[in-house]
Amino acid sequence: MTYAQKLSVIDLKVEHLKNPMAIETANPRFSWKIISPIKNTLQSSYEIRVGKNKASINLGKDLVWEATVSGDQSVLIKYNGAALHSKRRYFWQVRVKDNHGNTSAWSDAHFFQMGIGAMDWSAKWIKVAETDTSARSPIFRKEFSINKKLKSAMVYVTAKGLYEARINGQRISDTYFAPGWTSYKNHLQYQVYDVTTVLKNGINVFGVSLGNGWYKGRIGFGNQHNFYGDTRGLLLQLLVEYTDGTTETINSDESWKYAYGPIMASDIYDGEIYDARMEIAGWDNIGFKEDNKWNNVRIMEKGPEKLVAMAGPPVKKHEQFKALKIFKTPAGETVVDFGQNLVGWVMLKAKGAAGTKITLSHAEVLTKEGNFYTTNLRSAKAQDIYILKENTAQIFEPHFTFQGFRYVKIEGYPGELTPENVTAVALYSAMETTGKFVTSNALLNQLQHNIQWGQKGNFLDVPTDCPQRDERLGWTGDAQAFANTAAYNMDVSGFFTKWLKDVKADQLPNGAIPHVIPNVLGANDGASAGWADVATIIPWDMYVAYGDRQFLENQYESMRKWVDYISSTAKNNLWNSGFHFGDWLFYRPNDDNDGRAAVTDKYLIAQTFYAHSTQLLINAANVLGKQEDVAKYSTLLTNIKSAFVREYMTPTGRLVSGTQTAYVLALQFDMLPEQLRAACADRLVANIRDYGNHLTTGFLGTPYLCHVLTRFGHNDVAYDLLMQESYPSWLYPVKMGATTIWERWDGIKPDGSFQTPDMNSYNHYAYGAIGDWMYRTIAGINSVADNPGYKAVVIAPKPNGKITSASAELETVYGTVKSAWKLENGLLKLEVSIPANSKAKVILPDLTREIGSGTYYFESKI
């Protein structure tokens, strides 16, 4: 929480990003936050100026846009000045007036840089001369001179595969896994790095290595390689501006040289082999003469892909973990425990005789006997191998692979392995942490921790189902289930802006949406209910969380095509055909004599998602003012619901599948006649009680389960489920020592044995979707769809005696929203903070208040 002495403007962003380096739109949008020591503060007007020079912007000189606008809009204001030029950096600042008559100082100047236009690429794609079949990483090299005083130097770079770019022996950025994973055949991202302070006067050198990555490496099922292409390539353009006004361009072209470096093999699933004996000393620095023996590169044909600016946050290194314990397992293996299931890699320090081979294998769990267990990684080797050169201490880390692990088995380490020699590093997309959630219950706090780590581990450039086995794909069902929770924990606006472009790009011409995005499973796989509905669900969720209409504008056609696709396959308004995953991984006990398995009819599920997607399309059409579509799809929605009632419900409101998921989806999506809903909710409760207060839901029912219970007056049952510690429940894995969310409710069974290794990930965020209910209902922080992005907040905590306090903070686009309560002497005591330029409605059991910004305290009967 930021406290202010006086009215000020902070956190300036352009297109959700701080000082972005490559803006693609002609009218970028500006956002800022306002802080004020006075309650009920609203912006009454703003002044904005955008100029070419940082030094003169304060003087109001060299401006391209200057505007004074009344009103309280402070988020996503569209640029409306002179045409912006590609590659150019612009500076901007704002000051605001408030409703109390105060004026802030001008904010610090921030910048944004325009991307490089398609016509401005003069670099050529380069590749190795031979057929690109070597597992080794090629390294490319080029010297160039800087002979005048530099004003600025920007490198634009991308690759087919993954690249690591260096200048004069140093990595040019702390971004990893660039250019990121997109639907490469449609669009390929480039990155921009400011190297003005890196370049020296005189000779400089580029050194770039390439890895297979998602582009050419193993991806998807069935040992599939070369999915996007069989040849790695590099495209690099350095644009230099001198202080005398002249410019120069250094391009990847036929003058570059290449060789093969010490990365002997590298693959996302299998890991990396690095042979230090193959290092070429000085290859990426000046003064290296042996490149006269290197090969000349070949020029590569440009592909069909469009080069686009990076839309989401880059992958970076984050937390580091020291070894908690180094021990010998009963099987006699040396294993390091880092105490946290995480995604990234291990940095290893080693020194030994040349040729010493050290193997690092990764695992998420140990067997009940305490042995190292990798069967659930299936065919992913997930192994990093380092081969030492003569006796010098070296620090190793992989380049083009990542692993999901808590434990690392180390073989062949020379000498004694001590904690100083091994450090685990987490890597994930650099999203700002926005949510904090703490209660009086330690297990619940661990659950929140596990949800956050499930997110960190699976938000590595695309939202994946799991980060460790031979899969790691952008499963759409998982992503839609978790998106709301994700938007509480971290700022995922940029992350999903990027990924939704791929949803749109990989949507099939008939409107079906593949199971995974980017789609590497083939064009026939598509349109599973609850998976494909990602097309409507995430754009809407992001609109509500960030108040950004562009999520709807950009995706509207894709949303509409998806709903039209369902309609085209439906008969009499029933979506009852095609393949569906159904309520994936629902409760399915082994001994099923009494019909305890909670199997929900897949077409019943499909019908509810047909309605849900149609409703979201109507919502989007309303926001965008498409009244014809509102009318058209509202009629469709009525028909979908009638068809549901006809086909799946008895006249008294019993559903053909009497499962929790069936009742949850029917109630959540308003499928049932109003007068029957309460009775249906009672049936849901009876079912839960019958299972001894256990949930039986899978991927599709789980996200809505507690929401439905709370909405229909059974908040106590929602808490019973949440606080349940025995299988199946959210806290069961916590009790079993989980540090992330598991794919299955019983990934480890009560007797310590494992579920089937065919599909048993210990880092799978889908069931973490309960986080949304925890923020919304326990802490009570809600965005309002008709005033989205927390411009209006509803604070409505619904406590329950099972926990005595809860506190959450959410960094919204307006600033920090806080809701913290405790139960004391039979009273609910609540502290609420609302950021300036926002407002809230506080709803407690015995009071309702409208408040403006500021901090407030309330007491209410429980």
Query: Annotated active-site positions, please?
Result: 471, 743
Tell whether residue 482 is a contact of ligand RAM (CB under 6 A). Answer: no
Minimum distance of ligand RAM from residue 246's CB (angstroms):
55
Find the binding residues for ligand RAM in span 387-446 (CB under 6 A): none
The stretch among 92-100, 354-362, 470-478, 724-732 that binds ligand RAM (CB under 6 A) is: 470-478
What is the distance between the alpha carbons of residues 135 and 34, in angstroms, rounded to a whole number?
53
Tell whether residue 477 is a contact of ligand RAM (CB under 6 A). Answer: yes
Among 437, 565, 581, 648, binds ligand RAM (CB under 6 A): 581
**Closest to ligand RAM by CB, 584 or 633:** 584
The stretch among 164-172, 475-483, 600-608, 832-840 that binds ligand RAM (CB under 6 A) is: 475-483
**Closest to ligand RAM by CB, 343 or 813:** 343
**Closest to ligand RAM by CB, 656 or 759:** 759
Minimum distance of ligand RAM from residue 416's CB (angstroms):
40
Q: How far is CA 650 from CA 594, 607, 657, in A?
A: 23, 16, 11
- Greatest C-alpha distance within the chain: 85
Query: Are the CB atoms for 491 and 33 separated by under 8 Å?
Result: no
Minimum distance of ligand RAM from residue 698's CB (angstroms):
10
User: How many residues in the shown chain lie near ligand RAM by CB under 6 A?
Assistant: 10
Q: How far is CA 740 from CA 361, 699, 763, in A?
A: 20, 16, 6
Number of H helices, E strands in the chain: 15, 43
Minimum distance of ligand RAM from residue 595's CB (angstroms):
24
Rg (CA), the chain: 28
Among 11, 267, 465, 601, binds ligand RAM (CB under 6 A): 465
Minimum distance of ligand RAM from residue 764's CB (angstroms):
6
Binding track over 740-759 against ligand RAM, x by CB under 6 A: ---x---------------x
Query: Are the CB atoms for 210 and 167 separated by under 8 Å?
Result: no
Provide the 3-class DSSP secondary structure of residue 434. Answer: coil
Both tokens of residue 513? 């949406």
**Closest to ligand RAM by CB, 140 or 227:** 227
Q: How far is CA 787 from CA 3, 553, 617, 743, 855, in A?
A: 25, 17, 18, 35, 21
Q: How far is CA 777 from CA 37, 312, 819, in A?
A: 29, 30, 11
Minimum distance of ligand RAM from residue 387's CB (angstroms):
34
What is the distance between the alpha carbons of residues 246 and 244, in angstroms, rounded to a whole number?
6
Of all residues in the shown chain, the one whose CB is closest to ligand RAM is 465
What's the burial of 410, exposed, middle or buried (CB within 10 Å: 0-12/13-18/19+)?
A: buried
Among 478, 601, 720, 809, binds ligand RAM (CB under 6 A): 478
Angle, alpha carbons 222-224-227 (nearest 5°): 145
**Closest to ligand RAM by CB, 11 or 478:** 478
The stretch among 77-85, 86-94, 251-259, 473-481 that binds ligand RAM (CB under 6 A) is: 473-481
Minimum distance of ligand RAM from residue 473's CB (angstroms):
7
Q: How far is CA 577 from CA 203, 536, 540, 638, in A?
A: 66, 20, 26, 20
Minimum distance of ligand RAM from residue 220's CB (angstroms):
11
Question: Cα 509 to chain center, whole Å?
Answer: 26
**Closest to ligand RAM by CB, 264 or 759:** 759
What is the distance between the alpha carbons of residues 567 and 576, in angstroms, rounded to a whole number?
11
Provide the residue count of the chain: 862
The stretch among 134-142, 469-477, 566-574, 637-645 that binds ligand RAM (CB under 6 A) is: 469-477
Among 274, 400, 475, 565, binds ligand RAM (CB under 6 A): 475
What is the distance between the alpha carbons of residues 314 and 84, in angstroms, rounded to a whole number?
24
Minimum distance of ligand RAM from residue 749's CB (angstroms):
18
Which residues 6+ apart lie within 8 Å of 643 measured at CB?
572, 573, 574, 607
Residue 148 φ/ψ, nearest 5 degrees: -130, 175
Q: How far is CA 129 from CA 209, 263, 334, 857, in A?
A: 15, 19, 43, 70
The stretch among 207-215, 224-232, 474-482, 685-693 that binds ligand RAM (CB under 6 A) is: 474-482
Minimum distance of ligand RAM from residue 763's CB (angstroms):
11
**Closest to ligand RAM by CB, 480 or 696:** 480
Comparing CA positions, the residue from 279, 245, 246 lying closest to residue 261 is 279
Helix (H) or strand (E) holding 690: helix 674-690
**Closest to ligand RAM by CB, 502 or 743:** 743
Binding track over 530-569 against ligand RAM, x by CB under 6 A: ----------------------------------------
**Closest to ligand RAM by CB, 465 or 809:** 465
**Closest to ligand RAM by CB, 305 or 743:** 743
Among 269, 405, 495, 584, binds ligand RAM (CB under 6 A): 584
Cβ neighbours of 549 (radius 10 Å): 15
Q: How many C-alpha atoms does 708 have within 13 Å on its Cβ side? A: 29
The stretch among 84-92, 311-319, 422-430, 472-480 that binds ligand RAM (CB under 6 A) is: 472-480
Strand 29-35 and strand 8-14: the pairing is antiparallel
Minimum distance of ligand RAM from residue 522's CB (angstroms):
15
Find the binding residues for ligand RAM in span 596-615 (CB under 6 A): none
Tell whether residue 457 is a contact of ligand RAM (CB under 6 A). Answer: no
Cβ neighbours of 83 (radius 10 Å): 7
**Closest to ligand RAM by CB, 161 or 467:** 467
Q: Which residues bind ligand RAM (CB under 6 A)?
A: 465, 471, 475, 477-478, 581, 584, 743, 759, 764
